[in-house]
Chains A and B, each alone.
Chain A
Amino acid sequence: MTVSNEMLMRFIDGELPPEDATRIAARIANDPALQRYVESQRALQRQLADALSPIMAEPVPEHLSAAIRDTPVSWRWRLKHILARTDGRLAWPTIAIPATAALAAGLVIGMLISPAGVDQITTQNDGTIVASGTLATALTTRLASEAQPANAPRIGISFRNTDGQDCRTFESGRLAGVACRDAAQWKIAALAATAPMAEGPYRQAGSAMPDIIRDTVRGMIAGVPFDAAAERAARDQRWQQK
């Protein structure tokens, strides 16, 4: 029985199961031709190592460590981490309204939102809460990547929910929430009030997503959030994907 080159190669590379390796080793020990072959292969490997491994001993070039330090990580990675974080300190004492709960929504919302935001949320006769006014406009038209006008509702992430609807998170004044689009309007899936922000010229532009909104997103999201292209495509289809 001869030993195939492939068998020898796998032997040299440590790829054989122990019992086969033992068997092959015994045959090599008794066969000068096999020994020469194995030695030639080891010599090849040594030559490759001698030629190419010195670079391993060099310090990491500055431009490479700078690239690793400074290249921004993808926003979807960051978002995944925000969604995954359960111990993050969030600056939001949250008051949650499960939008499906039967409650005196109008009253509660009236208490929560700032006067400027009153027209942004509407309670319908059947009790569903929908976005209206400038909030509805922002949800329908604005892309997260676009410059967002001061005092206008800000759009966070967009994603598809497990019911196949397109949804978006938003912040407006002291409200944060997530809304999903049905055939006609943006239904509010969750709302939270945010803590009053410090006044002054350096008012924080964006803040962490409140727990309740984050949990709601996590509970309803199918897959990953839209990237910029998917967000734009969804917007261009008016959030009514096929």
Chain B
Amino acid sequence: MSESTESIRNRMIALVPRLRRFALSLTGNTADADDLVQDTVERALRNLHRWQEGTRLDSWMFRIAQNLWIDAVRARRVRAAVPLDERHGEPVDGVRNAEARLVFADTCRALASLPEEQRVVVALVLVDGMAYRDAAEILGVPIGTVTSRLARAREALTARVLAEKAETPA
């Protein structure tokens, strides 16, 4: 028996927090992240027949989000990820105190320094906690590609974090 549209909408609402975090990892700011999530849910609903019932809705929606993001980056319609605190007059949702804000800004800068393809893998595996296999399926690449992109991203991020720590006197 097929699932009702109502039930699918409810599942999408339940997926929003994860989609927002994923989008935030890609965009580096809440406003662009929410635009991306909105585009994602609209596209998903308008193309719902393309989702194969019985397969994972979350994977399918993450794939839509990442495709939209890559398209946007290629079309240069979006800024490269700019940490929120470097922009003016925007509220910093969910990042209240100064220290958290700093961590957020550092992290976004570090993510922004990665090539797009590596950043997506970091967002899926390290941030969302997906299995390599699921990330590979979403990206349409072999698992080995996920592994090697992740290894490169980890190296770059670790080097950056260590360098920042070295610059900052304890």
Contacts and interface: CB of A to CB of B under 8 A. Distances in A.
B115 interface: no
Contact of B38 (A51, A64, A76, A224): A64
B100 interface: yes
A146 interface: no
Interface string A51-73: 11111111011011101110111
Contacts of B21: 52-53, 55-56
A50 interface: yes
B75 to A, nearest CB: 22
A15 B100 contact: no
Given A45-B126, A47-B161, A71-B46, A63 B38 contact: yes
B72 interface: no
A85 B3 CA distance: 11
Interface residues of A, number: 43
Nearest to B161: A44
A64 B103 contact: no
Main secondary structure of the interface of B (DSSP, over half): helix
B151 A6 contact: yes
Contact of A54 (B5, B100, B155): B100
A76 B13 contact: no
Given A6-B147, A40-B158, A44-B154, A68 B48 contact: no
Interface in B1-37: 2, 5, 8-9, 12-13, 16-18, 20-21, 24-25, 30, 33-34, 37
A150 B50 CA distance: 34
B45 A73 contact: yes
A36 to B, nearest CB: 11
10 contacts: A15-B131, A47-B106, A52-B21, A52-B127, A56-B21, A68-B45, A71-B45, A72-B45, A73-B45, A74-B45
Top 4 closest pairs, chain A to chain B, by CB:
A51-B107, A76-B49, A77-B48, A54-B94
Interface of B: 2, 5, 8-9, 12-13, 16-18, 20-21, 24-25, 30, 33-34, 37-38, 41-42, 45-50, 93-95, 100, 103-104, 106-108, 122, 125-127, 131-132, 147-148, 150-151, 154-155, 157-158, 161-162
